[in-house]
Amino acid sequence: MNIGIIAHLKHPIRKPYMGGLEAFTHDIAMRLKERGHTITLYASEQSDPRLNVHAILSDMDYDRETFSRFRSHELSEDFISTHHAYLELMQDIEGNGHDIIFNNSLNYVPVTMSTLLNTPMLTVLHTPPIFEMKRAMALERKIGKMNYVSVSEPNAISWKPYVDHCRVISNGVDTKLWTFCRNPEGGYVAWFGRIHPDKGTHLAIKAAKIAGYKIKIAGSVADRHYFETYVEPLLDESVELLGNCTHERLNSLIGNALASVITPCWDEPFGLVVAESLACGTPVAGISRGALPSILDEHTGCLTSSTDPIELSQCIKKAVLLNRECCRRRAIEQLDVERMVDAYEELFESLTVDRSVENAI
């Protein structure tokens, strides 16, 4: 198949990934290519050139130190540039010979303009309902050309008032790249991801201290104010900041942790960090929000519905006792990336077949 993949434009699609969406887009594009499909990735210009990138936005103003696209931080400039990038793309994409358009943009323009296309289009809902997407979908649903997928069942439920039918395909990780660690040697717990209010880094640190464990933190500071106000005052000898890590270092960090502390402070639709932790055999202690309770079971994690660090510390004490082989098994059986790509590939084929039948009538 000839597949056009529309990417989110906040960050280039390349390593080191700035978040789960960049990782998802890169991973599935690469694997579809390896399976023999022709792919075109519509993304910003510094994205991985191996993905046949068709640049729709310049990265001249992208700052890899602050991870922001415009140094002025003017929302209007970012909004207008992104709007026009997608607008020009959607005006031209029909003539690019794609069998299907795979939309991961989180933007209203591709959804709105999908009504003008004959090519089948699939949009992945990587977030809970956001205002602009809800409005675009309400208009698009009157024609009903678009197909939708959610990355988890809880996220699909949150979109139900706006989408009459939404398949669920869980995100996945390459379990072959994450080494299983049966006997961790660190004596610590780990937290990894972007240091941002949505991720609750400070809650993990407080809970680890109460539970009596050293905590190692891996990830970039995505919100400097949050870091300086809530995280930095908690730093002492029991907290180790590692910054961005290579895959090998992160694998070692997670694998040798007694547990991963995962603290979403919003309804996160999936959370690849959960799958990555389980792939290493590391159980999870965390806050029961978003997709987290649907990914874990009683053998692989311990959750609290509270943001109280005392309750979270109790989850840590229980999680470190869980069976690591159960964690690894759950990752392989339910969260492997090949299962995810199989599901998307099957869906692409069904949508292109449906189109052929419609054209024949």
Token output for 244: 């961005």
- Residue 64 reports pLDDT greater than 90: no
- Residue 198 reports pLDDT greater than 80: yes
Cα separation, 193 vs 24, in Å, equals: 15
Fold type of domain 2-172+337-360:
Rossmann fold (3.40.50)
Place of tokens 């809902």: 125
Question: What are the CA-CA distances from residue 132 to residues 110, 162, 180 (Å)?
Answer: 12, 12, 41
Q: Where in the chain is the domain with CATH 3.40.50.2000?
A: 2-172+337-360, 188-334
Pick the residue with more confidence: 150 or 69? 150
pLDDT in tens, 309-337: 999 999 999 999 999 999 999 999 999 99
pLDDT average, residue stretch 273-299: 97
Predicted local distance difference test score (pLDDT) of residue 131: 87
- In CATH terms, the superfamily for domain 188-334 is Glycogen Phosphorylase B; (3.40.50.2000)
pLDDT in tens, 121-150: 999 999 999 988 998 998 888 887 899 999
Percent of the chain with pLDDT over 70: 94
Token output for 312: 């979270």
The answer to whether 68 touches 33, Cβ cutoff 8 Å, is no
Predicted local distance difference test score (pLDDT) of residue 354: 65
pLDDT category of residue 293 using cuts at 50, 70 and 90? very high
- Residue 104 reports pLDDT greater than 70: yes
| Range in 19-23, 257-261, 285-289 with the lowest mean pLDDT | 19-23
Predicted local distance difference test score (pLDDT) of residue 135: 87
pLDDT average, residue stretch 47-76: 77
The answer to whether 44 touches 59, Cβ cutoff 8 Å, is yes
pLDDT in tens, 218-263: 998 989 999 999 999 999 999 999 998 999 999 999 999 999 999 9
**pTM value?**
0.87
Predicted local distance difference test score (pLDDT) of residue 79: 83
pLDDT average, residue stretch 272-294: 97
Token output for 353: 């077949």
